[in-house]
Amino acid sequence: MRDYETGFRIKEALADLVFPRRCPVCDEIVPMGDKLICSRCRIKPQYIREPRCRRCGKQLMGENVEFCHDCMQRKHAFDYGYALYDYQSMRKSIYRFKYGRRCEYAKFYAEDIREKLSDEICTMDADAIIPVPVHVSRRRSRGYNQAELIAAELSRITGIAMHEKLVRRIKKTVPQKELTIQERQNNLKKAFHISTNVVKLNKVILVDDIYTTGSTLDAVAVELKRRGVNVVYFIALCIGEGM
C-alpha cells in the first residue's frame, strides 16, 4: 500500500507540472507549496456552521429554531443532509467547475468536505455514496457529471464505496432555476430509474453540487426508498440562506 501511495503521489506531482492546478476560488495557477488552493484564498469560502437546519442543513439566523422555513412548510423524502459552503461565496467557483471544465476542483471540494464534515459523515455510517446523475445528453455535451467527480474523490478519501451507475436519469428535464417548488416536483416526476438491485444498501449518501429546494434529492430519495433503501442522506457543496 505504501508503494502504491508513493507512486500515486509521484504521478500527481508530474501531472501538476504538465497541467498546473488552478485555485478553485480565484482560478489562478496554484503556487508550488500551496497544495489545492492559494494561501490567500483559503479564508474566502464561507462555511455553513451551527445553527443550521436539522433537515436540509441551511444556515439559520437564530438559535431558537431547529428547522428552516422551507423544511417547516413541507416534508422531504430524504432524511437529512449537510452543505459545505454558502452559495454566494462560492458561486463563481461552482459555475467554472460545472460549465468551465475545471474538473480539478473536485479534489479540493472533497478534501474540504472531509475536513469540515468528517464527524457528520462518520455518524451517517453509510453503505454507499451515490452521485446525483445528469441526463446522458447533458453529460455528453458537458463531458462529465460534476456530482460524480466530487463523489469519486469523496469515496477515495473516506473508503465509502461509490455506486455511480445505480441511479440513472431517464427523463431530460428542463432547467430548474426559474421553476416554483411545485413545478420542480412535477418536472422531476419519473425522471430517475434505479438500474440495479439495492436491497443490500441500508443507508446511502447522495452527493450533489447545489441545494436549492431539495426537489432533485427528494425525487432520487423516493426511488431509492421504493426499492428498499432505508435511510437517504445527502451532502451538497453549496446552499442558500435559511430562515
CATH of the domain at 73: 3.40.50
Tell me: the pLDDT tens digits for 153-201?
A: 999 999 999 999 999 998 777 565 666 666 665 667 777 988 777 768 9
What are the grid coordinates assigned to 55, written together? Answer: 433537515
Q: How far apart (Å, rounded) are the C-alpha atoms in residues 16 and 12?
A: 6
Provide the pLDDT for residue 16: 54
Domain of 9 in residue numbering reads as 1-44
Provide the pLDDT for residue 4: 40
Tell me: the pLDDT tens digits for 60-100?
A: 988 888 999 999 999 999 999 999 999 999 999 999 999 99
Residue 8 confidence class, pLDDT cut points 50, 70, 90 = very low
Q: Are residues 154 and 66 in the same domain?
A: yes
Provide the pLDDT for residue 219: 94
Residue 1 confidence class, pLDDT cut points 50, 70, 90 = very low
Reply yes or no on whether the pLDDT at 10 is more than 80.
no
Provide the pLDDT for residue 180: 66
Q: Are residues 37 and 53 in the same domain?
A: no
Residue 206 confidence class, pLDDT cut points 50, 70, 90 = very high
Reply yes or no on whether the pLDDT at 107 is more than 60.
yes
Distance from the first to the final alpha carbon of the chain: 48
Q: Are residues 37 and 49 in the same domain?
A: no
Provide the pLDDT for residue 190: 73
What are the grid coordinates assigned to 132, written together? Answer: 446525483
Q: Are residues 37 and 50 in the same domain?
A: no
- The more confidently predicted of residues 159 and 135 is 159
Q: Are residues 125 and 22 in the same domain?
A: no
Q: Are residues 2 and 35 in the same domain?
A: yes
Q: Are residues 39 and 72 in the same domain?
A: no
Mean pLDDT value across residues 29-46: 89
Q: Are residues 85 and 39 in the same domain?
A: no
- DSSP labels, the chain: -HHHHHHHHHHHHHHHHHS--B-TTT-SBPPTTSTTS-GGGTT-SPBP-SSB-TTT-PBPS-SS-SS-HHHHHS--SS-EEEEEEEHHHHHHHHHHHHHS--TTHHHHHHHHHHHHHHHHHHHH--SEEEEPP--HHHHHHHSS-HHHHHHHHHHHHH-PPB-TTSEEE-S-PPPSTT--HHHHHHHTTT-EEE-S--TT--EEEEEEEEESSSHHHHHHHHHHHHTT--EEEEEEEEE-B--
Provide the pLDDT for residue 243: 39
Q: For a pLDDT cut of 70, what percent of the chain falls above it?
A: 82
Contact of 176 with 184, CB cutoff 8 Å: yes
pTM for this entry: 0.87
Residue 5 confidence class, pLDDT cut points 50, 70, 90 = very low
- The mean pLDDT of the chain is 87
Q: Are residues 33 and 93 in the same domain?
A: no
Provide the pLDDT for residue 187: 60
Instruction: Give the contacts of 216 (CB within 8 A, at least 6 positions apart).
Output: 132, 176, 184, 188, 208
Provide the pLDDT for residue 172: 77
Q: Are residues 37 and 51 in the same domain?
A: no
